[in-house]
Structure 1
């Protein structure tokens, strides 16, 4: 019976996928970012469960291969079927050419891709229909192309997973979904970050070799096309495999339950992880997390935030002194981990200016970022709200007219702007900031003579600094105070920048990216000091998130510790504040320094007030962390909670206030009061957003 041989294309491509996945897991296991040791049982689980998962996933993905193979036939060219099929192709092609299809509604390159695909299919089918002597050659070429395409996807995916791990220390997640949306920026980033020509050559060579071997071992299918009855049998067998795979894959995913996050990530299938992230970019808190009665939740938050309303964070912030309507410049620095600065232990001297500025500022040495992406940092600094599961509010449809930093400044008569060296379209920033009262200054507003250097992320921070000074000079002429939020871009792969520092831009290193941003900020402040508005301006400098978020646990503490400072010579005294605090507390603390009186919905608090009770929030898209009393509480789907005791790892070379490394020890006996308190914060934040109680 030849039925088994008809499965050779599927079997051989599956073997290629399994081999590529095995090699990838092996490489990632020994990757420098995989900071963990694995037991024999863990390694066995990683590779055995991983193998089974890969086979099941490829079975699902190969549905397109089977559709192609099933429709390989001689009889479809017989009369009248051949003419009917050819006529259908012609009709579809004309329909797309009419410009009235759903492809045209989406726009972009989709209509052209549709025309190319259907046009090619029409041409090839017509040639085989009307010139039968070319039929076998065209079919063979088509078969080679199909196998080449599948092989290319398999090899390219393995390479992509490697680079994603190299950047984030995990398999595909929500970030990969974002990258699919912002294809142009991401492709540009890859082109500028990696040696793409050698990579393309290598991928092409491997794909060609794989295609040659698979075609050679699978051409029985072409030489002995199955009969209609055989195709029914083949389809039946594949249908059974498809259904079995569909049901087993989620069960296997549940076996990713190790306390070592790297074990789970290595065991997982990247494609399935991508699918999961795509389908669950927004997580409903009330479905996936532990909850408590609403009244109890707000009561617990009220213990931390006095004078709150009964079922809302609404309250009045009062002052007994005169408001100071000073200009405010908020500088959010891309990926500036605390560990890059000298005061936190770095010996690289890559932030000399920021190191000196911190000593002249009100410095916050125990501040944690809410998340691991720029949009989380922007959300925290703009909305002063704990991170809610799924996407940041910045990326959501319901992201406008929120109670925000901008709404406070606007109510005080300030001019409000968001400054960004890239295109604010990226990460939905334009939609979010314009929808919350900000005027936007981004790359699209630059004239050619204002740009000396740019890469895929936008103009360099030096050019943005010059633009910021021009913008603020114009604002100062109006006589109204201004609030400008500037987001830097240079500390980001591909780490290319003007040749202005002692680290060559040809190295494309993160150290260089950090040091160039530091250099650009030094020049910005040099220029600012010469302006008439400088003495009446407060500068808030903070990172958006750390450069990396991967570690042995879901939320490694050092990967969320970021530098933050408020600088205003003659107004703010230089001192260090070591209270545990969150990114969401920084702007309310500034408002306290300015003696602002206002109606507030912020979860963030003025940490300089005696009523403040230290705590911090850190999170990924799914894991919601709450730090208090040297305990890290983590809430995760589905309705899970765990706690870690935080034991500081001392570095004798660093001051006690600046220690950033902790051992996270899983607690067997949980602090239920902290679990409830963490639940209360995240639950009420989700409730406020869901019920539109956080509107302006």
Structure 2
């Protein structure tokens, strides 16, 4: 009996394991998987992966088990059928007609969902009740649909995992959770980036074929439904198996490897997604190594001339009230520029501008997402575990770059070509005193091209010039922070601008078009009266890719940055190691600003500056100093790597770290510095000491 009644589960499970194995093998040989694996390591990855898949499938089985539990012929007999149907109709009317019913009190769309579900249930139950001769056909049809939904979810999840891995070198993480929240942008991005219709047709065809095969092999089970005793035995068995699987999955997910790709490939995406969904913020004091709080703060603050969080920055030169335009460029890796060895000539303008600027050749982004870059440039603090501060509830009234400019009488704005509600940018910037200029500010005739992420960068450039012309007439200096959008998948832009078609959807095209738009912006700016009294800061928000064989591959965090001002900033190259959080304090130093600071970044031209950089993901917090990378990870784990420069044709100061060797005997002083930085920052954020 047990074997016969579990045939649908066995067939579905076998299909799930085969499909998961195919995906795992694809990941092993994917170009983004830069690690190499020995024969026995591959066997271990496959074996542990299959075990994870079995455990996950068992955990998802209760949904199908509940479906079988309610299959019965006796419930349609008089008077049970009439009673059940009456109860369903009354429940439907209760939800529909009673204003304060329990579903509506819960809020959201729950009432509408409940109405649709119960309405469908009434229709199907009525058909089964009043058409007994068609009952088996109806049940078979519903069974086929149920199987199809299971199969299509399995296929769709596998395809989704592939595309996510193709983009990030990871299975699901916090970004996947974000993608569920911002469905319009994400679905639009997928629609514009991939051949969606052929892809969905293939998914549908494969799912249909597999469903038909399983249906033909198992539909006989619906002619001899289990009795109540058999159902209870099956239910108890599934409860036991699910309990064992949950315990087993807790054990297998704790198995760690020195290679990130090994962990990702042998894992199952669904538990990773669930973990990300429930852990979008991490409590540093619970998950990371600690030292005494006073010791941590003393260690961290010792790098400043005043050993306090709130410090008085005093300039001995007159302040320069120059306009400032900060341009954070989407996904701009350092190696897109010829200065860093690129020979494709895809950024000719930015390369030429770098020769006329103060160029920071050894600067590292704090993270791998736009909100991390915006956080670093606005708050000038090291990244913290979990989501960016921009996306947290407690994200307002912080001490920001805008705070300093507003105190100096500046007009402060954030400019973005998309809808700024995305990634909570509008809430963050408006809550910290910035005016917002985004896609909502555009008239239809001002948009020559747009994709799901926003208007083309050249359209935003024209809008920015209009905004700055208006601001300059007010007699006040202005600070505008412009976040570009075009260098982002699907990499579409207007045709005829560059020598790569706008529908080619290539990253090189996106990079080159962004460079084209920046050139157009500067050509327009140069004609304006305010141009010679303006300082331009151009910096990436993060690199184009963060995938690597270690938790924090340093070569995937290096970004270009430069400060340009005709007749004011002398061209030079600053080659010392520095962080994204140092760029704005350095700018304030160049402007001779005197102000009270809570920034944790430093002016790199001050004598007390210590070369260092912070790099992080949502979980791993890294600190680069003295050719070492120290990483703090949950749960209270510490790793340290020695870093060696990548050999190349460029001068040593331009070469990037790419050889990371884990140290068996780490440098304890650097470990304490790392803990001090992240523990102190987390504490000050938690206690609102970084508010203004």
TM range, smaller chain: over 0.9
Aligned equivalents of 1:232, 1:335: Cα separation in 2: 55
Asked if the contact 2:338/2:351 (under 8 Å) is kept, the reply is: yes
* Residues 111, 449 of structure 1: alpha-carbon distance in 2 compared, 3 angstrom cutoff: farther
Identify the residue that residue 26 of structure 1 maps to in structure 2.
25
Aligned counterparts of 1:95 and 1:377: Cα–Cα separation in 2: 50
Q: Distance in 2 between matches of 1:92 and 1:458?
A: 45
Question: For residue 432 of structure 2, what is the aligned residue in structure 1?
Answer: 436
Residue equivalent to 1:229: 229
How far off its partner does 1:80 sit? Answer: 3.4
Superposed CA offset, 1:612-668 (max 9, x none): 01110000011100000000000111111111000112102x232211242001111
Take 1:189 and 1:612, find their aligned partners in 2: how far apart are those partners?
42
**After the TM superposition, which residues 447-596 of structure 1 pair with which residues of structure 2 at under 5 Å, given as runs?**
447-499=443-495, 500-596=497-593
Query: Which consecutive unaligned segments of at least 5 residues does structure 2 have?
Result: none
Residue 148 of structure 1 corresponds to 148
Say if 1:687 and 1:649 are closer, same or farther in 2 by CA, change over 3 A.
same
Q: 1:106 to 1:26 in 2, by over 3 A?
A: farther
Q: Does the Cα contact within 8 Å between 1:580 and 1:614 map onto a contact in 2? A: yes
Counterpart secondary structure, 1:493: coil
Structure 1 spans left out of the alignment, 5+ residues: none
- TM-aligned CA deviation for residue 215 of structure 1: 0.7
How far 1:534 moved relative to its partner? 0.6
Mapped to 1, the partners of 2:476 and 2:442 lie a distance apart of: 24
RMSD: 1.4
Q: Evaluate the alpha carbon distance shift between residue 121 and residue 619 of structure 1 in structure 2; reply closer, same or farther with a 3 A threshold.
A: same
**Alignment-derived partner of residue 313 in structure 2:** 317
**2:7 equivalent to 1:11:** no
8 A contact 1:6–1:220 mirrored in 2: no
Return closer, same or farther for 1:458/1:78 CA change in 2, 3 Å cut-off: same
Which residue of the partner structure matches residue 403 of structure 2? Answer: 407
Q: Tell me how far 1:89 sits from its aligned partner.
A: 2.4
Asked if the contact 2:447/2:459 (under 8 Å) is kept, the reply is: yes
The residue aligned with 1:117 is: 117
**Partner-residue secondary structure (3-state), 1:506:** coil
User: How high is the TM-score relative to the length of structure 1?
Assistant: 0.97
* Cα 1:188–1:112 shift into 2, 3 Å: farther
Check the 8 A contact 2:136/2:223 in 1, yes or no. Answer: no
- CA gap of 1:114–1:188, structure 2 versus 1, over 3 A, is farther
Contact 2:298 2:307 (C-alpha < 8 Å) held by counterparts: no
Provide the residue aligned with 1:249 in structure 2: 249
- Give the secondary structure class of the aligned counterpart of 1:118: helix
Please state how far the C-alpha of 1:79 moved relative to its aligned partner: 3.1
Matches within 5 A, 1:321-400: 321-400=317-396
Q: Secondary structure at the match of 1:119?
A: helix
SS at match of 2:6: helix
Instruction: Please give the alpha-carbon distance, in whole angstroms, between the structure 1 residues aligned to 2:681 and 2:101.
Output: 42
Cα distance in 1 for residues equivalent to 2:363 and 2:90: 63
Q: Is the 8 A contact 1:421 1:443 kept in 2?
A: yes
1:269 alignment counterpart: 268
C-alpha distance in 2 between matches for 1:336 and 1:649? 20
1:220 Cα deviation from its structure 2 partner: 2.8
Aligned residues: 690
Q: Greater shift after overlay, 384-393 or 210-219?
A: 210-219
Indicate conservation of the 8 Å contact 2:462/2:521, yes or no.
Answer: yes
Q: Which moved more, 1:656-665 or 1:277-286?
A: 656-665
CA gap 1:332/1:69 in 2 versus in 1, 3 angstroms: same
- 1:104: Cα distance to partner? 6.0
1:5/1:220 contact within 8 Å kept: no
Which of 665, 685, 689 in structure 2 is aligned with 1:689? 685
State the Cα distance separating 1:106 from its structure 2 match.
8.4
Contact preservation (8 Å) 1:334, 1:374: yes
Q: 1:106, 1:236 → 2: CA distance?
A: 32
Alpha-carbon contact 1:496-1:505 (below 8 Å) kept: yes
Q: CA deviation at 1:390?
A: 0.4
1:676 counterpart = 2:675: no
Q: Superposed, which structure 2 residues align to 1:582-621 within 5 Å?
A: 582-621=579-618
| Residue of structure 2 in register with 1:308 after alignment | 307
- Change over 3 Å in CA distance of 1:648–1:455 after alignment to 2: same
Q: What is the CA deviation profile of residues 643-696 of structure 1, one whole-angstrom value per residue up to 9, with x for unaligned ones?
A: 1000112102x2322112420011111100000000000000000011111111
